[in-house]
Structure 1
Amino acid sequence: MMPFKVIKNTVLFPIVIGFVLFISCAHKAKKENIESIEKQLEIKIDTSIVVGANRTDSYLTLLKGKRVGVVANQTSVVFKSENFKDRGYTHLVDSLLALQIDVKQVFAPEHGFRGKADAGEIVKDGIDTKTGLPIVSLYGNNKKPKPEQLQALDAVIFDIQDVGARFYTYISSLHYVMEACAEANIPVIIFDRPNPNGHIIDGPILEIENQSFVGMHPIPVVHGMTIGEYAKMINGEKWLKNGVECDLTVIPMKHYKHNKTYSLPIKPSPNLPNAQAINLYASLCFFEGTNVSAGRGTATQFQVFGSPFLNSGVFSFTFTPQPNEGAKYPKHKNELCYGVDLTQYEKLNELKLTWLIEAYKNTSDKSKFFNNFFVKLAGTKDLQKQIEAGLTEGEIKATWQKGLKSFNVTRANYLLYD
């Protein structure tokens, strides 16, 4: 028996101890990883806010006995606790079906019903595997619902989380849904949600000649309105085709104010992973119209920027874009980019141009810095000209003030919250 005892003591014991330590370290690593993810997502929810989707008492009577269409994505949820104390939630479509509402079909905007598609990727029609409901894409060649896609409906719900930037295409989808429903005499019901950038109103006013799907209305880059308030403005300002007006009902939130800090519990799109990205998005999205990457193809989308063409002596931070969720073909794929890390930058209360201006000053070939998409994002040709002419951020912003003052007067007519 002695040989067995020797083997047991000298071999098995260390193995057992090693295994226990491995399990312990793995558990610790898993815990730390979860904590890291939670920290990255910055789930700091104002627990007093009650979103429109949770106010079933305000909308069930509007839906009973009607055939309903739902414009939705992964953010369209009903929270298990009315004020988010429990992070759990149920998708709006599942909730409506459980409440015996006759949901006939789902309309999905950019990124799709589950929010997994790349920016600009064509989202195909399909069937929701969980509910069996038909899904109609509102992106690509079918941005506006067709009459035949609405003919079996008595009402349409729009419930999508916005981030308050003009070029975030969900408000363009909202426009087309309202327009199509107005033409078909179908009422639209908006379930309102917070604007995480509701404290910011800034940027040049879009000029109509530069209208596109990333900018349809004469508003600044950051508009400071919720999706419900914005829908009221679309209606009231007669922006729908031929001046038609949508039969619109907004289910407002409880306890919301524009200056409240609100971090989204669900990513609004694949490349906005946390509160930092959402806050920086309006300022860094201008890089989408240049040869500079805004971090697509990294884990810090819209929290870093960089390019192989920026001066490495000025920009010491580096990253290399690789294909990932939401960016199958990222700009500068597999190329070392020099730029700036903004993951720890303080919360913005304005649209910031400093990074765009500095990148232009320090690019190796200024003639290739801007592309044709930049004017669509800016909504005006002036911004590119001003940067090329060497104007400072302050000088450029001074040219926006007249337009912003006028917009604020108009905006005040449609506000639902302080």
Structure 2
Amino acid sequence: MFVLTAFKNTFLVLLLTVMACGGSQQTQNSATETVSEAQEKEVIVAANRTETYFDLLRGKDFALVANQTSVIFTPVREGAEGSRMWVHLADSLLGAGMGLKKVFAPEHGFRGLSDAGEKVMDGMDSRTGLPVLSLHGAHRKPTQEQLVDLDLVLFDIQDVGVRFYTYIATLQLVMEACAEAGIPLVVLDRPNPNIHYVDGPMMEAEHRSFLGKTEIPLVYGMTIGEYARMINEEGWLADGVKADLTVIALEGYSRNTPYVLPIPPSPNLPSHQAVRLYPSLGLLEGTHVNAGRGTSLQFQSFGAPFLSDSHFDYSYTPESRPGASNPKQLGKVCYGRDLSQVPPPDAVDLKWLIEAYTHRDNTSAFFKTEGFTKHAGTAELQKQIEAGMSASEIRLTWQEDLEAFKKIRAKYLMYH
């Protein structure tokens, strides 16, 4: 079911935005999606619930941690039934006369156009005139100098619920920086399209990186707001600091609410199918197998020149594309699978990873050991696959850790 967020009571904010930015600015910063009437009022994202957080911002100088997904959804336009638009939160805040002074941008940048892993440079946003400070360049954590003139930080980024998706690492570092500076952090919650299960190997402390900063499973089944509360209350911030944290909740949301992201959260997750397959196919990022980057089926396909063309009946050639300027196996014919039509699993499914490993050219390297360990969060998974363990045998080794995590997680769930 295709579910989008509903507009609640932000008409005044949007009117002020139009007045401040002008009609052409409104057009530049908006997009449309079509939804059925039955779906329009199911979920209200925290950004739309301006009555719950605008009082926290009034009279304050603050920064926004945001990207292209940080939007307020507008009312259905008169005479255009089912058509929905959105306005970027930064534009709405400025239009409402709030004291937004700067933006912090995560991986892929403020407008979400940079390649995966690409350094994002500081700059100026041409649409708003706001200074944009990168959290994926010289710094991944806001410096105390960058926070010294602020009263508060507002965080609003769409997550997909997978540990190695770096927006939650950015959240954790922002929380640490705010705690150290003694300034409050407000997190605007958004749905997690992979919230309905907890699965995968547990992160091990010795393998911490920007792809995993805390000991959680690969898929942790929490919204980003719930996860922020867990980080804070479990003492997982560096040096035991604790943030002055406020989470603005979703409305009309439950853990059983299907949710399709209306805006791609990053350049290579262009569709709901990609988002749902990402927990499984994302592990291929730690191998020499291409996971659809450089094609129109990012994280909906996989292949490599060294996979067996007699076993795999699908082939493609990665090319340089926006968001994937230099994909793995660029310009080479890759043999593998088109998964764009398969039912996405409600689990971390290892069958495609194991299939690729089993039907490879033995003379070619398969794993990028350091990278694979960072993605998996453990060195054990590579050893298990190389030892010939089946997917079901490997999954059994996760269960004790998953049950322990679920007990901790239960304390911080805001939606049922």
State the TM-score, normalizing by the size of structure 2. Answer: 0.89
Alignment of 1:332-371 (within 5 A): 332-365=329-362, 368-371=365-368
User: Are the equivalent residues in 2 in contact too, given 1:164–1:223 (CA < 8 A)?
Assistant: yes
1:147 to 144, 149, 155: 144
- Kindly indicate whether residue 290 of structure 2 is the aligned counterpart of residue 296 of structure 1: no
SS in 2 for 1:302: coil
CA-CA distance at 1:47 after TM superposition: 3.7
Counterparts of 1:145 and 1:283, CA distance in 2: 31
Assess if the C-alpha contact under 8 Å between 1:51 and 1:194 holds in 2.
yes
Indicate yes or no: 2:107 matched with 1:110.
yes
* 2: CA distance, partners of 1:373 / 1:38: 37
Three-state SS of the structure 1 residue aligned to 2:174 is: helix
Equivalent in the alignment of 2:29: none
| Structure 1 Cα separation of the partners of residues 132 and 154 of structure 2 | 14
CA distance in 1, matches of 2:363, 2:284: 14
In 1: Cα distance, 2:159 partner to 2:197 partner: 14
Stretches (4+) displaced over 6 A:
none
Q: Is the 8 A contact 2:33 2:84 kept in 1?
A: no
Give the Å deviation of 1:347.
2.6
Correspondence 1:167 to 2:164: yes
> SS of 1:65's equivalent?
coil
Which moves more between the two structures, 114-123 or 252-261? Answer: 252-261
1: distance between equivalents of 2:240 and 2:57? 27
Contact 1:289/1:370, CA 8 A, preserved across alignment? yes
Paired position in structure 2 for 1:325: 322
1:177 alignment partner in structure 2: 174
Q: Which has the larger radius of gyration?
A: 1
CA contact (8 A) 1:205 1:379 kept: yes
> Would you say 1:55 and 2:53 are equivalent positions?
no
How far apart, in 2, do the equivalents of 1:171 and 1:81 lie?
A: 30
Aligned equivalents of 2:270 and 2:329: distance in 1? 20
Q: Which amino acid aligns with 2:160?
A: V
**What SS class does the counterpart of residue 88 from structure 1 fall into?**
strand
Give the CA RMSD over aligned residues. 1.9
Runs of 5+ unmatched residues, structure 2: 1-31
* CA distance in structure 2 between the aligned counterparts of 1:214 and 1:121, rounded to whole angstroms: 14
C-alpha deviation, 1:86, in angstroms? 4.1
* TM-score normalised by L of structure 1: 0.88
Q: Deviations over 1:30-57 (max 9, x none)?
A: xxxxxxx989x99x96641000000000
Distance, in Å, in 2 between the alignment partners of 1:86 and 1:222 is 33
Provide the rounded CA distance (Å) in 1 between the counterparts of 2:254 and 2:308. 43
Q: CA separation in 2, counterparts of 1:338 and 1:225?
A: 35
Question: Where does the alignment leave 5 or more consecutive residues of structure 1 unmatched?
Answer: 1-36
Q: 1:203 aligns with which of 200, 205, 215?
A: 200
Deviation at 1:257, TM superposition (A): 1.1
Cα distance per residue 1:36-92 (max 9 Å; x no partner): x989x99x966410000000000011010000100000000000039x954201100
Q: Percent identity?
A: 54
Amino acid at match of 1:152: D
**Deviations, residues 166-217 of structure 1 (Å, cap 9, x unaligned):** 0000000000000000000010000000000011210011001000001111
Deviations 1:121-167 (A, max 9, x none): 01000001111110000003300000110011101000000000000
* Range with greater deviation from structure 2 (259-268 or 365-374): 365-374
Q: Residues 124, 86 of structure 1: CA spacing in aligned structure 2 closer, same or farther, 3 A cutoff? A: same
User: Could you list the per-position Cα deviations for residues 203-239 of structure 1 after superposition, in whole angstroms to 9, with x for gaps in the alignment?
Assistant: 0110010000011111000011001001001101111
